[in-house]
Amino acid sequence: MVEAWEFVVQHPDKLAEWTLSHLWLVFVAGGIALVLGVSLGLYISGKGRERIAETVLYFAEIAMTIPSLALFGLLMILLAAMGLKAIGFLPAVIALIVYGQLPIVRNTYIAIRQVEPAMIEVGKGMGMSERQILFKVTLPLALPIIMAGVRNALVLLTGIATIAAFIGAEGLGMPIFRGIQNNRMDLIIVGGVTVSILALLVDGLMALLERRVTPKGVKKR
């Protein structure tokens, strides 16, 4: 413990660098996962797409059960075969996007589905176009649950991003990885504790955001 603290004091720049690249990884992957996941969730919640929805959610669930190391390995092979950079940031981001899909797609799907059909019909009855119904009625009413999914995903990604160090992506996985290889307990602790704190911070921040986007009229109590 003492050594870990000493390391922090002596190399704050190192720790900052790891933390920042870790966050950057989560941020980029999370951002793309958000756009992709919400779009996919919106698509599959459409009328008459129940079968597609089932399939998509099924695959998203399967993706979650692939061990992250295995997925990283798989991606390395795939990317190499496609002639792309097989180690470092790119495969890490792709893997994280895949992991982020389930909570986001699932929550978006559920969120849209729970909006009262009567609400949509009223919007229609007053002359709103499909697009206006989506942005003025469906999305505002679905937003709290979608945000809960995004929060879930981001916390998950913060943790999994640690393992990306094994395929050469920068982040807080690096000190842990090196610590294990060189039997440096202090590095393992520094990495582990920082990741945990980061995850808690992300969770707290997203909780705040979630509350902010919840329309006032539909807040519980």
Q: How far is the CB of 215 from another protein (least distance, A)?
A: 3
Q: How far is the CB of 130 from another protein (least distance, A)?
A: 10
DSSP for 152-204, written as a single string: HHHHHHHHHGGGGGGGT--STHHHHHHHHHHT-HHHHHHHHHHHHHHHHHHHH
Range in contact with another protein (rule: CB under 8 A) among 64-72, 74-82, 105-113, 132-140: 132-140
Cβ–Cβ under 8 Å, residues 202 and 158: yes
String marking each residue 99-128 x if it binds another protein according to CB under 8 A: -----------------x-xx-xxxxxxxx
Q: How far is the CB of 117 from another protein (least distance, A)?
A: 10
DSSP state of 135: I
Q: How far is the CB of 47 from another protein (least distance, A)?
A: 14
Q: How many residues bind another protein (CB under 8 A)?
A: 20
What does R_g of the chain's alpha carbons equal in angstroms?
20
Q: Identify residues 155-174 at the interface with another protein (CB under 8 A).
A: none
Cβ–Cβ under 8 Å, residues 215 and 147: no
At 26, list the tokens. Answer: 């989560």
Kindly tell me which of 137 and 176 has the beta carbon lying closer to another protein: 137
Q: Identify residues 139-158 at the interface with another protein (CB under 8 A).
A: 140-141
Q: How far is the CB of 21 from another protein (least distance, A)?
A: 39
Instruction: State the angle between helix axes of 185-213 and 2-10 in degrees (0 to 180), rounded to the nearest 10.
Output: 70
Judging by beta carbons within 10 Å of its beta carbon (0-12, 13-18, 19+), is residue 101 exposed, middle or buried? buried
Judging by beta carbons within 10 Å of its beta carbon (0-12, 13-18, 19+), is residue 58 exposed, middle or buried? exposed
Q: How far is the CB of 105 from another protein (least distance, A)?
A: 23
Contact between 134 and another protein (CB under 8 A)? no
Kindly tell me which of 141 and 163 has the beta carbon lying closer to another protein: 141
Q: Which residues bind another protein (CB under 8 A)?
A: 116, 118-119, 121-129, 132, 137, 140-141, 215-218
